[in-house]
Amino acid sequence: MLPKKENLEDLQSDDPAPPQYDGNYNDDLCVECPPHTTERRLVYRIDLHVLPFLCVMYLLAFLDRVNIANANVFGLSKELHIQAGNKYNAALVIFFVPYILFEIPSNILLKKFKPRIWLSSCMFAFGLITTCQGLVQSYSGLLTTRFFLGLAETGMFPGAFYLIGMWYRRYEAQRRYTFFFSSTTLAGAFGGLLASAIGKMDGMRGYRGWRWIFILEGTLTCVVSIFFYFLLPNFPEQAKWLREDERAFIRARLQQDQGKSALERPITLRDVGRVFKDPKIIVGGFMYFGLIVPAYGYAYFSPGIIQSYGYSPIQTQLHSVPPWAAAFGFAMTIAWFSDRFKHRFVFAILPICVCISGFAILIAVHNHRSVQYGALFLVAMGAYTAMPVIVCWFNMNLGGHHRRAVGTAWQVGFGNIGGIIAVYAFLAKDAPRYIPGYSICIAFVSLSALSCLIYFIMCMWQNRSRDRNATDLSLTDYEKTELGDMSPDYRYLL
């Protein structure tokens, strides 16, 4: 059972056109589509206006975040004299300090300034900082640029997930979430190819190859951000590329599926406090937290692991591409089945098991390059497939702008504490086997699986409890809107 259904007649003219049906696409939808189009065509238009731009934006953000691993292969640590001790790890971890602390404020500002303005501004900022990263002359300069890079990127991931969740119904969201999240896998593949090409510029104009990686990729981000100021989407209520009757239909279909959004009311500190009274919010943070450790462990250290197999710097970059490509294909396949069966839990646990099996092979098998390289495929496929399922499952179960804005930022912000753990899990003294790092990753992936099970049980118990109890007819529509998914009419997706 979904939130209480309403007709589009409340939002349109007094003489609405008869509903149009598009095969089986909207047979369960009790709102009327504008006569000049169909729901399928509208969703396709939304896909074209929302997903491509957000995917490119996050591809560039993730590329600027993890290209330090590619730069390190081309001599960053050697030129800045940070090979001794854990200085390189400290440069990685300082990124996460502002990135974690400012997730919730960023989503509040995104709602205040509109997504198009806030996201494009953040995008220009982190592109400029990445370019500066290629000009640093000391370890302190590297730390400074990494800190401000984390601050500039803090709004990218939760903001995009928040925005996507406000455009799609829950049963059609997983493929979109996964396609967007797979920007990270495409960034990993694209980053390896790009770094292998840029690395050949070593010595040009007196700059080493690792500097050109930062300079060119940062400049690309800045240029794209200028265009994205005009191209990035806003919320459905603010979309100027839709007709008024189309906006009304989209609002109605989302309201039927998720309840009213309350876009017009600003988010207050009291709203933030109320969100954290729900224990499912805390569990949702641990679901993501457990997977961040292997995900960042792979993103930051897989080039070094592959290089330890005896490849040259260029061959290392090229060999880093196939696991990311395999992760993209596996993630989209799982997402399709998840939407097809309207279920999330099983499709989160399955890739988690794949990820654990990859780490188990890396711990058990040594001196067999092909098997170890194959295990990296399993790690990438498992971690980068489970993460979008978990994020989509959690965020699409949050009703209304207030709970979704805060909940999304909390999950991503708290989860990224795992990035700090990942950075110190893979230390230079443990190379090339990294037994402690692989063991830590298995433990945290198992934590994510346990958290998914707890979240599944909590959602199922609340659904059954609401089914048993009569609907509270004394609640007004405003009160139900304020409650979001805590409304007695709401049913969680399992």
Output the domain CATH number for residue 136. Answer: 1.20.1250.20
Domain that holds residue 481: 33-234+267-486
113, part of any domain: yes
365, part of any domain: yes
- Report the number of distinct structural domains present in the chain: 1
Tell me the per-residue pLDDT of 335-372, one tens digit each, with 9 for 90 and over: 999 988 989 999 999 999 999 999 999 999 888 888 98
Tell me the per-residue pLDDT of 159-174, one tens digit each, with 9 for 90 and over: 887 888 788 887 888 8
9, part of any domain: no
Q: Residue 29's pLDDT is what?
A: 53
Q: Residue 301's pLDDT is what?
A: 82
Per residue, what are the HEC states of the chain? CCCCCCCHHHCCCCCCCCCCCCCCCCCCCCCCCCCCCCHHHHHHHHHHHHHHHHHHHHHHHHHHHHHHHHHHHCCHHHHCCCCCCCHHHHHHHCCHHHHHHCHHHHHHHHHHHCHHHHHHHHHHHHHHHHHHHCCCCCHHHHHHHHHHHHHHHCCHHHHHHHHHHCCCCHHHHHHHHHHHHCHHHHHHHHHHHHHHHHHHHCCHHHCCHHHHHHHHHHHHHHHHHHHHHHHCCCCHHHCCCCCHHHHHHHHHHHHHHHCCCCCCCCCCHHHHHHHCCCHHHHHHHHHHHHHHHHHHHHHHHHHHHHHCCCCCHHHHHHHCHHHHHHHHHHHHHHHHHHHHHCCCHHHHHHHHHHHHHHHHHHHHCCCCHHHHHHHHHHHHHHHHHHHHHHHHHHHHCCCHHHHHHHHHHHHHHHHCHHHHHHHHHCCHHHCCCCHHHHHHHHHHHHHHHHHHHHHHHHHHHHHHHHHHCCCCCCCCHHHHHHHHHHCCCCCCCC
Q: Residue 124's pLDDT is what?
A: 95
45, part of any domain: yes
14, part of any domain: no
Q: Residue 108's pLDDT is what?
A: 80
230, part of any domain: yes
Q: Return per-residue pLDDT of the chain as tens, 494 residues.
A: 444 434 444 444 444 443 343 443 444 555 678 888 888 888 888 899 888 898 888 888 888 887 888 788 888 888 888 887 788 888 888 988 888 888 888 878 887 888 889 999 999 999 999 999 999 999 999 999 999 999 998 878 778 878 887 888 878 888 888 888 887 777 767 777 777 777 777 767 777 878 888 999 899 999 999 999 998 888 887 788 888 888 888 888 877 766 555 555 566 777 778 888 889 999 999 999 999 999 988 887 888 888 888 888 778 878 888 998 899 899 999 999 998 898 999 999 999 999 999 999 999 988 888 898 999 999 999 999 999 999 989 988 887 777 887 888 889 889 888 888 888 888 878 877 889 989 999 999 999 999 999 999 999 999 998 888 766 566 666 666 666 677 777 888 88
251, part of any domain: no
Q: Residue 452's pLDDT is what?
A: 96
141, part of any domain: yes
